[in-house]
Amino acid sequence: MLSAKLLSGNSPVFKCLKTLHSRSARAFSAGAASLGSVGLKGRSCLTLKDFSSDEIKRLLWVSADLKHRIKQEKQYLPLLQGKSIAMIFEKRSTRTRMSTETGFALLGGHPCFLTSQDIHLGVNESCRDTARVLSGFCDIVLARVYSHSTLEELDEAASVPIINGLSDLYHPIQILADFLTLQEHYGSLSGLTVSWIGDGNNVLHSFMMTAAKLGVHLKIATPKGYEPEKSVIQEAQKLSKEHGTQLLLTSDPMEAAHGSNVLVTDTWVSMGQEEEKKKRLRDFHGYQITMKTGSVAKPDWTFLHCLPRKMEEVDDEVFYSSRSLVFPEAENRKWTIMGLMVSLMTDYTPQTPTPKF
């Protein structure tokens, strides 16, 4: 133990500790001030590739703040009163529709749901014309589409923010929910290792555009022929180098899982790939996440899946275990889409302290 003399106000040890504390406090204050000055109003969100580290942290902070104030403190925050959102869905969804509709309404706004039966993007009317029409009716548009180029066309012509509710290339709103879930569970994100075991799809692409910016290491295992897009890999490698994180690509699930904090997978057969199901199930043999997979991960490992889940992707023992965060992850789709919409539409400043990232 340090003696009272060593810890006296004039001792070198005391002065050193005081200096370290002062530096730590300044660093925390600087971090909070940095995030507090980030403005996103008027922006669109097609991919988190377009967002900086501080901008993503700001989105997570606003989301956590809204969750605390509304869920825990039971506050009513009509931040979007008098506003409306057009929700275009070329693809069905439970979580994206429910989180957006309930979240927008909870904030005092009016959601308008449009299916392919209501609106035919690029068929009866061009995407550009649709974007201009909806800009006159609504304050923001969320579109869940097959082709990412559809979102780019909408965004180019619209005068209101466009949110990617899912495309063939990216799924940014899912990744915001995933990282909020991990931040809540582990207390911070920097230094965590996330292992993706499955298809090189849109969800993985969004992980690759985000992880390094939050100080998260990423290990990826995909079967040969199912790797992420080359352009996405190149950008992820650049981000990893820039932020000093590790990025591993392999075809061995156990190699990817080794030393990991978080094991993640997703569907092996996405909507529109039903004809490939038999071949995909054959090619993904050995990629099911089980307790055996987790045996090489870190002792505190957890599991994520964006849902809906199939048995071949992860067994019941893992999926329904205490390590599984899938249901808090699903709920956080609501708080993060709310945080995103508030950030893109208002000048809202969070009232709760900045989380540790």
Euclidean distance between CA atoms 205 and 223, whole angstroms:
16
Edge-to-edge strands, sheet with 84-89 = 110-115, 84-89, 140-144, 162-166
16 is catalytic: no
CB 352 within 8 A of CB 69: yes
Q: Give the span between the Cα atoms of 151 and 49, in whole angstroms.
A: 15
> Crossing angle of helices 95-106/326-345, nearest 10°?
50
CA nearest 192: which of 220, 219, 216?
216
Answer yes or no: are the C-beta atoms of 185 and 340 closer than 8 Å. no
| Strand ranges across the sheet with 302-305 | 247-250, 217-221, 193-197, 262-265, 302-305
Catalytic residue, from 45, 127, 138, 306: name it.
306
Q: Which residues participate in catalysis according to the annotation?
A: 306
